[in-house]
Chains A and B, each alone.
Chain A
Amino acid sequence: MSSWTITKWELKNTLHNRKFILIFFLQLVVLLMMVLFFSSFMEGIESEEGISLTPSLNQFASLDIYDPQNILINQLNPEILEINSNKIDIALNRLEGGDVTGVLILPSSDDFNLEEIKPVPVNLYIDYEDPKRSVIKDEVSTAQNKASSLISERWINDLTPQQEVSQPQIQEETQGEALPLQLINKVMTAVLLFLPLFLFGNLIVDSIVGEKERKTGEILIAMPLSRSNIILGKSMAVIITMALQVALWMVLMILAGYSIENPGLVYLIVVTTALPIVGLTSIIAAFSKNYKEAGIGITFAYVAIIGFLIVPALAYISQQGRYVSASTMTLAIKVFSGEPLSPGDIIVPFTSLLLISLISYYISIWLFKRDDIVFGPRPGILRLLFEFATLNKVVNYFKK
């Protein structure tokens, strides 16, 4: 018997489980939903002012305005502000009653002639009891800049005939993709690609901790099969399931219009990342007494792994790839964006992947080989660390 036999058993069990199949396909539905919502989200964050990651906040703050000469009213953003045109006394009463956060009062044509070069007196009443006051101030300030440009232009044209005005023109050129867009396009695509690797922790826990809880571990160990083959066989079955889900996931993403260059290579990177993740999950599963304990362990381990993958990717996006990253997520971003790769870009993440995989499988096999871990009573973590570092042998040597 080899580890492949265990892999086949585990796969057969998993794929014959109707509830698993249902959840497997529901995960694909979730992805489809994420893709659909993601597209509408992308449309939502692109505005005239550029890319913004703030919530859409439809008519978040309210402002009453008295602007008989239409100086400012057309420059205010009706998407953020609920704008009501009202008479001064009504507007001020509404402010007092808490119906609005701000009131903007501009002069009528009887009080002020816009043709004269004189500052236009504007009164802005803001209710400081309302935290949305900063939104009102900011929106009014933006509208003020727009209106000021128009008024200045009008006054300048009145001062000088248009043909004589020689105004230096500004030619603005931007380079590179906007940071928020990169974060969404690249990091979100990478997160979607790597997500299946974190959805099958339960499988590993069930196949290792489940044996302990169901008391079938003894039978498994009594079989003509080494314990390392059991761990490797079970891990392989989960990696194959993950690989299948990643493949379906990628097909869906490509069909939904995601731009993924070098899909074969990207697939390989994501699937090889599954090796250390399953290895680390196996350590937790081998050590845990029950599902609950494994659940906590996996939660913390996955937070750490996600951090290890995503933080260098974010650093890469903000630093524009000045440094080589140990995270395979960064490598995947570079590959699916079609960016040039240096040898370091490939060697460093794959070396760390290999090292973590070797260490994690070694530890999980070492734990699973110990009867006290599998059948109990389980030693404490410190004692295990002590023994793992073979310090106990050194102590015993000196005792002798």
Chain B
Amino acid sequence: MKLLALFKKEAKDILSNKIYLLVVFVQLLIILGAYGLAITSSVVTDPELLDEWGGSATIKVGLPQNLQGSPLEESLKNQDLTLMYFPDVETGLKEVGREVVALVYISNEEGDIGLQIDNTNVFYPVARDKINTALDYYQLEEILSSRRLSTEEINIIQNPLDINEIKINKESASPLALDSSYFVEIMYGFIVPFILLLPFFLASNIVTDSVVGEKERKTFEVLLMTPLSGPMVIAGKILPILLFSLIQSGAWIMLLYFLQVPVYNPLLLMVLLFFVGLGFIGMGVLISMLVDSTKEANSAVTLLLFFATFVLFLPLFMNIPALSGILNTIPTVIIVRMSSGPYLNPLWILEFLPSVFVSLAIFALSIFYFKQEGAIRL
């Protein structure tokens, strides 16, 4: 009952704190911003999506006027590129990076093709992809046109692999905002773990505010004198914070579902997030025991979050096969695997264990220091 009373008091404190509620709102803005950015960058880097969204026409490619009406011009036109014509190659080259993203020209008497392309353009990947496809077709056509081959044979040589796509489980297809590999990779490979962990970054701040606040208000000693054991006091303080963070993560999972980025295996993810949260909050309690003021606690928490960001998010961008055994146990890597598909490999649950041990160790350490601090103060 006493624990419940402390739990209620802490929960009320959190919910009546305008700053925390404001930070929750800020998280919402961050999520929507990250989602918008993922959509935009997916469209900008995917030739098919750019065609679909009518963006290809904005990619301007230059040609010397003498190539007007040539098969090369035809190949480029087939890629939905906007062509601009220049009186000569020199004039066109000067405009690369200004008026046009690239210039295609015949560079010598043998008919070789010169391609000058602006690497710095936002549309560079799509422009390069489309121009190269056009040039490949042109090259093949140049070779094949001199042979006496039928159009059908030319088509087969140009497209030798006939891929027939068979859709399985089409009726229960995963609803995706964009059917683009870049979108899926960036959303599930980085943004989903980032969004799910955001509330726990806030949690370490709340816990230091709560414990150090007691110290600053000189109510910490009163709290220690209540008929509650050290672990019970910590439990009463941290459980509402942990619950507040888990509810936020749950809400973000639902929001992602509405944004058509379904997060799979949510219950198991919540179990993992519970332990990750315990680690974050345990670190918050440890910091609170080691500092004397909110100012010091804020600086220490900032540093903690810096370290946590590196440890949790850098492995997502690293490819070191020798370390894959360790990297696979990093919570963010597990989140990527579990959230990105409807099926679950039971072995992944075993990979939870290091996170569980680390979190429990941090939490045990925080209880130890809490008892010591309590002994000093009383």
Question: What is the bound-complex CA distance between A291 and B189, given in angstroms?
Answer: 37
Q: How far is the CA of A134 from the CA of B178 in the complex (A)?
A: 9
CB <8 Å contact, A122 and B168:
no
The stretch from B3-11, B106-114, B238-246, B268-276 touching chain A is: B106-114
Identify which of B120, B179, B324 gathers the most chain A CB atoms within 10 Å of its CB: B120
Closest B residue, CB atoms, query A198: B302
By a CB distance below 8 angstroms, the chain B residues around A95 are 168
A149 neighbours in B (Cβ, 8 Å)? 136
Interface residues of B in 156-178 (CB under 8 A from A): 156-170, 172-174, 176
Q: Is B181 an interface residue (CB 8 A)?
A: yes
The smallest beta-carbon distance between A252 and chain B, in angstroms, is 15
| Bound form: Cα–Cα A189–B216 in Å | 39
Task: List residues of chain B with CB within 8 A of the CB of A264.
Answer: none
- Whether, in the assembled complex, A375 has its beta carbon less than 8 Å from a beta carbon of chain B, the answer is no
Residues of chain A with a CB closer than 8 A to B176's CB:
131, 134
Q: Is residue A284 within 8 Å, beta carbon to beta carbon, of the partner chain? A: no
CB distance from B377 to the nearest CB of A (A): 19
Nearest CB on B from A48, distance (A): 13
Distance A348 CA – B366 CA, assembled complex (angstroms) = 52
Within A206-224, the residues touching B (CB, 8 Å) are 206, 210
Taking a contact as CB atoms under 8 Å apart, the answer to whether A205 and B162 are in contact is: no
Contacts of A225 on B, CB cut-off 8 Å?
A: none
Which residue of A160, A166, A168, A176 is within 8 Å of B118 (Cβ)? A176
Q: Determine whether the beta carbon of B119 is less than 8 Å from that of A138.
A: no
Task: Report if A118-B156 is in contact (Cβ < 8 Å); known contacts: A55-B316, A132-B340, A206-B295.
Answer: yes
CA distance A124 to B185 in the complex (A): 21
* Contact of A152 with B140 at beta-carbon distance under 8 Å, contacts A58-B324, A175-B96 already known: yes
B352: CB under 8 A from chain A? no
A128 near B19 (CB under 8 angstroms)? no
Within 8 Å CB of A117, what residues of B?
153, 156-157
Nearest Cβ in chain B — how far from A171, in angstroms?
5
Chain A stretch 167-217: residues in CB contact (< 8 A) with chain B: 167-179, 182, 199, 202, 205-206, 210
The verdict on A296 contacting B168 (CB below 8 Å), with A23-B299, A120-B161, A131-B184 known, is no
| Distance between A71 CB and nearest chain B CB, rounded to angstroms | 8
Please, which residues of chain A bring their CB within 8 A of the CB of B114? Answer: 171, 173
Check: B39 CB closer than 8 A to any chain A CB.
no
The reply to whether B124 and A179 contact each other, CB–CB distance below 8 Å, is yes
Would you give the shortest CB distance from A186 to chain B, in whole angstroms? Answer: 11
Neighbouring B residues of A296 by C-beta, 8 Å: 19, 22
Asked whether A160 lies within 8 Å of B147 as measured between CB atoms, the reply is yes
A243 to B186 alpha-carbon distance, docked (Å): 37
Chain B residues with CB under 8 Å of A352's CB are: none
Instruction: Give the residue of B112, B160, B306 whose beta carbon is less than 8 angstroms from that of A120.
Output: B160
User: Does A121 make an interface contact (CB < 8 A)?
Assistant: yes
Known contacts A56-B318, A128-B169, A168-B113; A122/B340 CB under 8 A = no
Q: Is A156 part of the binding interface, using a Cβ–Cβ cutoff of 8 Å? A: yes
Q: Are A173 and B115 in contact (CB under 8 A)?
A: yes
Instruction: Decide if B295 touches A79 in the complex (CB within 8 Å).
Output: no
Between A40, A155, A170, the greatest number of chain B beta carbons within 10 A of the residue's beta carbon is seen for: A170
Inter-chain contact B159/A119, CB cutoff 8 Å: yes
Q: Give A178 to B117 CA distance when docked, in angstroms.
A: 11
Shortest Cβ gap from B143 to chain A (Å): 5
Give A contacts to B, CB under 8 Å.
19, 23, 26-27, 30, 33-34, 37, 40-41, 44-45, 50, 54-58, 60, 71-72, 79, 95-96, 98-99, 101, 117-135, 137-140, 144, 147-149, 151-152, 155-156, 159-160, 165-179, 182, 199, 202, 205-206, 210, 291-292, 295-296, 317-318, 320
A-B contacts besides A40-B318, A44-B318, A119-B156, 10 pairs, CB < 8 Å? A40-B320, A117-B157, A124-B163, A124-B164, A125-B168, A130-B341, A130-B342, A169-B110, A171-B114, A320-B97
Which residues of B are interface residues toward A (Cβ below 8 A)?
A: 19, 22, 96-97, 107, 110-122, 124-125, 135-136, 138-140, 142-144, 147, 149, 153, 156-170, 172-174, 176, 179-186, 188-190, 261-262, 291, 294-296, 298-300, 302-303, 306-307, 310, 314, 316-320, 324, 327, 336, 340-343
A-B contact pairs, 10 of them (CB 8 A): A19-B291, A37-B314, A101-B341, A120-B162, A130-B341, A131-B176, A132-B188, A144-B163, A170-B112, A210-B295
- Lowest 9 CB-CB distances: which A-B pairs, in order? A98-B343, A55-B189, A138-B181, A128-B173, A119-B162, A176-B120, A151-B160, A129-B169, A56-B319
